[in-house]
């Protein structure tokens, strides 16, 4: 997978007056290969502009954008777009194409043999949890919004792009389906490790999905780091209030229990948490049981460590230290 690099990229839309700030102003940003990076910020801060410059739907006014070794202008625009998956809020599915035909659009453009395309469609519909036998022949109008969005993701992944651009892909979806799709995306990403740039203005979504978050404000990136560091050490008041960094529980939900776990004691507590639990889970288990201590138990029920309420409370007060320990 390639990385993506913005080097001193500016986009000033023509027609805007001399007093209008550039939509994107002198942004330098490195998106590591195989990571999911979220662009987060208020409406109009330049997120979509950033994204659409990568697949050259928008041309930068100045600066360079690299995908791997190559500056994007070295690649013909049509090639570039065929090799970058692009998912938007309104799926842009073709209404008169079936699900199968929609997913097969890019493979067809690339001239894949029919059999290979069919296999790929089958595989992708399974990946996004739409049983092919049930869904292959349907038209978009015969799908729910969440199902259409899944087809949109399958279509974007059809030709196995190394880079995916996702612009508020779950924006128009109800909260429950949205959580499902986020989990789905996390599961898929754990398998395929694409380099993904994901735009949202939903903080919870960003914290849940991102390896790193670029916080944007009026065309600039004001802070770029992991969710935990952003919540623990926000660069300024804007980042702090945008992310809700004062919310201790939110921060605790990002810190793995492993960061404060001690060796298991002689008599492990009957209160149990899983090794992949976070500090918020631990706190909740301790409060529910009225206990001072929990045992971390693996799938086989074996105690692999202990966490104490005292340690939890002490460390929750010093997130800076945890941020280093946890990341
Ligand atoms: N075609 C255009 N011509 C002129 N100005 C534009 C154009 N497209 C966007 N802009 C301006 O550029 C700025 C950034 O727009 P952009 O669409 O990148 O924001 P965004 O962060 O994606 O916002 P949202 O969260 O609302 O989608 C805005 O001030 C917008 O008005
Ligand atoms: Mg936008």
The reported pTM is 0.84
Sign of the torsion angle spanned by Cα atoms 64, 67, 73, 78? negative
Compute the distance between CA of residue 72 and CA of residue 207 in angstroms, rounded to an integer: 29
Take atom 22 of ligand 1 and give the residue whose Cα is closest.
Answer: 48
Model pLDDT, residue 308: 92
Q: Identify which of 19, 21, 48, 219 to mutate to test ligand 1's pocket (most ligand atoms within 8 A of the CB).
A: 48
Question: Ligand 1: residues whose CB is within 6 Å?
Answer: 13, 16, 23, 43-49, 201
Model pLDDT, residue 326: 42
Model pLDDT, residue 175: 80
Domains and CATH numbers, the chain: 4-246 (3.40.50.300), 250-326 (3.90.1280.20)
Q: Give the number of whichever ligand sits closest to the CA of residue 88.
A: 2
Take atom 5 of ligand 1 and give the residue whose Cα is closest.
Answer: 13
**DSSP secondary structure string, 90-115?**
S----TTS-HHHHHTHHHHHTT--HH
Phi-psi sector, 219: left (phi>0), alpha (psi -120 to 50), beta: left
Compute the distance between CA of residue 161 and CA of residue 277 in angstroms, rounded to an integer: 33
* pLDDT < 70 stretches in the chain: 15-18, 317-327
Take atom 7 of ligand 1 and give the residue whose Cα is closest.
Answer: 13
Model pLDDT, residue 327: 40
Take atom 4 of ligand 1 and give the residue whose Cα is closest.
Answer: 13
Model pLDDT, residue 325: 46
Task: Tell me the pLDDT tens digit for each residue of 145-167.
Answer: 888 988 998 898 888 888 999 99
Residues 6+ apart with CB under 8 A from 314: none
Phi-psi sector, 301: left (phi>0), alpha (psi -120 to 50), beta: left
Model pLDDT, residue 188: 85
């Amino acid at each position: 997978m390639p990385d993506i690099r913005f080097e001193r990229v500016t986009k000033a839309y023509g027609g805007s007056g001399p007093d209008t700030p550039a939509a994107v102003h002198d942004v330098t940003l490195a998106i590591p290969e195989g990571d999911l990076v979220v662009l987060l910020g208020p409406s109009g801060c330049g997120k979509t502009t950033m994204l659409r410059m990568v697949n050259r739907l928008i041309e930068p006014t100045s600066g360079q954008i690299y995908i791997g070794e190559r500056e994007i202008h070295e690649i013909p625009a049509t090639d570039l777009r065929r090799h970058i998956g692009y998912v938007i809020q309104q799926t842009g599915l073709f209404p008169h194409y079936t699900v199968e035909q929609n997913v097969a659009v890019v493979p067809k453009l690339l001239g894949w043999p029919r059999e290979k395309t069919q296999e790929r469609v089958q595989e992708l519909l399974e990946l996004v949890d739409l049983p092919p036998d049930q869904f292959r022949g349907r038209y978009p109008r015969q799908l729910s919004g969440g199902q259409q969005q899944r087809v949109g993701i399958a279509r974007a992944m059809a030709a196995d792009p190394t880079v995916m651009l996702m612009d508020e892909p779950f924006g128009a979806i109800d909260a429950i389906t949205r959580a499902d799709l986020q989990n789905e995306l996390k599961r898929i990403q754990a398998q395929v490790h694409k380099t993904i740039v994901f735009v949202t203005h939903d903080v919870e979504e960003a914290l849940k999905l991102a390896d790193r978050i670029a916080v944007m404000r009026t065309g600039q990136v004001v802070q770029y780091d992991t969710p935990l560091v952003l919540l623990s050490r926000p660069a300024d008041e804007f980042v702090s209030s945008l992310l809700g960094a004062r919310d201790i529980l939110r921060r605790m939900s990002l810190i793995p229990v492993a960061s404060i776990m001690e060796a298991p004691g002689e008599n492990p507590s009957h209160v149990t948490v899983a090794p992949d639990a976070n500090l918020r889970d631990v706190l909740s288990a301790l409060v529910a049981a009225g206990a001072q201590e929990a045992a971390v138990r693996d799938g086989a029920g074996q105690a692999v460590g202990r966490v104490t309420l005292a340690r939890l409370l002490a460390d929750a007060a010093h997130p800076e230290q945890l941020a280093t320990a946890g990341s």
